[in-house]
């Protein structure tokens, strides 16, 4: 099975190498801003001509937005725009032009309705101080050295890694991997190189291929499994909050930049800013490591994983929950599960956003019309089941696995849920043996509204 995945390593750059990387990132920014200014000038000119009543056939000719057209225009103008262009690799300029081409395409597709999701805005110019330095190499000498402690990139030469690249080197030596590109980027005050690699992965089978697991994510516990296991929520942001507040106060006391007066930041401010960036990066790395360990364990052990299609964006609009929801990483859990089950030969099922997993009794199937967020124990008035709220929801998720007939299927509603939670409209159902209480029948009224769903699931 061929997949495209990334191998990311921290770099230990010398001052000279860091200046060279910054120069390449600056070249990418210059090419991006030049091409954007050119495209914007033509668009503004055509808009002005239309306002004057100029017919369409007489308007200023349009310019191409794709990468080939932008690259051709850049090659014709680079001698005047950037006389120093020979000092940097051609891949640096291609990085900026490619980013603009993708941004313009996303904006155009969003306006025409070809792109789903929130509206994409028109690309904006990149600032030297606010933009994240990044450069991508797709051609030239890109390799890992035999000592597995260094990598070679075009024009940048031999760069030392902070950690061993043995995992990638073994695949390259065995011929089961091929490097497609390498991206050097500065995150959290550190430089990293990320290799985009086409990997030939061996076919795997989960440890328990017939086992079904329901995963209910939350804030009190990061994940509650249908087996009753509760994965604690480490809350890395809360642990680091005090130190981050102290560092932010220190930075606010320094002399920072001022765009209105052109004031340059002081060295002490820059030093404080780097400390704040490292503190945020540490929280990000701890969260990422914890989520990877959890999702890898689930994907390797269980043949079928049932997750929820939560309205995370809606939850983030709730000011009382947004910070903790963002720290938990609900969307990241689902994203990682999606590709890891494919790598390990399992399947992932997504329960419909409107499926009332928390309101449904896992014993008899009765659905409550209302369930307060403060009710942490589910008590069924029909069969008398008393169970932890999250475990009950996880069992209900596992029970709907039978409704998905193909691997990697889309969201399934689960027992007739249809976007309304009403006292009537009961739908008979049967339990799947091995999920909760086999052979029981129950009733399932459909699920309630979006706002209720967002609050109910953010537990």
**Active-site annotation holder among 91, 231, 327, 390:** 390
Q: Are 194 and 6 in contact (CB under 8 A)?
A: yes
Question: What span, in angstroms and rounded, lies between the C-alpha atoms of 445 and 427?
Answer: 6
Q: Which of 355, 287, 297 is nearest to 326 (CA)?
A: 287
Cα dihedral sign, 42-43-44-48: positive
Q: How many helices (H) and strands (E) does the chain have?
A: 11, 16
What 3-state DSSP class applies to 194?
Answer: strand
Q: Are 219 and 321 in contact (CB under 8 A)?
A: yes
Local structure of residue 114 (DSSP, 8 states):
-
Q: Are 189 and 277 in contact (CB under 8 A)?
A: yes
Local structure of residue 123 (DSSP, 8 states):
P
Tokens of 318: 């709730």
Q: Are 124 and 59 in contact (CB under 8 A)?
A: no
Question: What span, in angstroms and rounded, lies between the C-alpha atoms of 270 and 239?
Answer: 25
Q: Is residue 109 flagged as an active site residue?
A: no
First to last CA, the chain: 38
Q: Is residue 238 flagged as an active site residue?
A: no
For residue 383, with 0-12 CB atoms within 10 Å meaning exposed, 13-18 middle and 19 or more buried, which class applies? middle
Q: 304 - beta bridge partners? A: 212, 347
Q: Say which residue the tokens 């001698």 belong to.
A: 79
**Active-site annotation holder among 91, 308, 327, 352:** 308
**Active-site annotation holder among 216, 231, 327, 352:** 216
Q: Is residue 187 flagged as an active site residue?
A: no
What own/partner pairs with CB < 8 Å and gap ≥ 24 does 373-376 have? 373/455, 373/456, 373/458, 373/459, 376/220, 376/459
The number of CA neighbours under 13 Å toward the Cβ of 66 is 2
Tokens of 305: 């994983």
- Residues assigned a catalytic role: 216, 308, 390
């Amino acid at each position: 099975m061929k997949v495209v995945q990334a191998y990311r390593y921290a770099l230990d750059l010398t001052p000279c190498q860091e200046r060279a990387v910054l120069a390449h990132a600056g070249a990418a920014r210059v090419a991006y801003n030049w091409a954007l200014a050119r495209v914007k000038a033509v668009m503004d000119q055509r808009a002005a001509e239309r306002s004057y009543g100029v017919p369409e056939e007489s308007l200023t000719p349009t310019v191409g937005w794709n990468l080939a057209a932008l690259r051709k225009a850049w090659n014709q103008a680079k001698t005047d725009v950037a006389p120093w262009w020979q000092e940097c690799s051609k891949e640096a300029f291609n990085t900026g032009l490619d980013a603009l081409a993708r941004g313009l395409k996303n904006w155009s597709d969003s306006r025409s309705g070809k792109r789903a999701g929130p509206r994409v805005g028109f690309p904006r110019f990149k600032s030297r101080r606010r933009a994240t330095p990044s450069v991508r190499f797709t051609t030239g000498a890109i390799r890992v050295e035999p000592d597995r402690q260094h990598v070679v990139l075009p024009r940048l030469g031999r760069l030392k890694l902070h950690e061993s690249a043995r995992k990638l080197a073994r695949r390259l030596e065995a011929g089961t991997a091929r490097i497609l590109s390498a991206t050097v980027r500065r995150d959290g005050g550190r430089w990293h190189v990320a290799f985009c690699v086409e990997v030939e992965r061996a076919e795997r089978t989960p440890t328990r291929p017939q086992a079904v697991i329901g995963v209910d994510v939350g804030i009190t516990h990061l994940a509650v499994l249908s087996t009753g296991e509760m994965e604690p929520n480490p809350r890395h942001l809360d642990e680091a909050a005090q130190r981050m507040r102290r560092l932010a106060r220190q930075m606010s006391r320094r002399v920072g930049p001022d765009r209105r007066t052109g004031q340059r930041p002081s060295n002490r401010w820059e030093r404080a800013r780097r400390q704040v960036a490292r503190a945020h990066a540490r929280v990000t790395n701890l969260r990422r490591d914890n989520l990877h360990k959890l999702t890898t364990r689930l994907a390797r052990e269980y043949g079928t994983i049932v997750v929820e299609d939560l309205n995370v964006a809606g939850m983030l609009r709730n000011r009382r929950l947004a910070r903790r929801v963002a720290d938990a990483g609900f969307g990241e859990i689902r994203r990682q599960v999606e590709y890891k089950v494919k790598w390990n030969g399992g399947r992932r099922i997504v329960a419909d956003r409107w499926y009332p997993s928390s309101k449904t009794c896992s014993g008899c199937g009765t659905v409550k019309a209302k369930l307060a967020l403060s009710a942490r124990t589910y008590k069924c008035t029909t069969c008398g089941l008393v169970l932890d709220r999250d475990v009950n929801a996880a069992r209900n998720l596992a029970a709907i696995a039978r409704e998905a007939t193909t691997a990697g299927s889309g969201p399934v509603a689960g027992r007739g849920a249809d976007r309304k939670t009403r006292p009537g409209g009961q739908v008979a159902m049967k339990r799947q043996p091995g999920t909760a209480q086999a052979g029981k029948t129950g009733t399932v009224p459909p699920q309630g509204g979006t706002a209720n769903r967002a609050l109910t699931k953010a537990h």
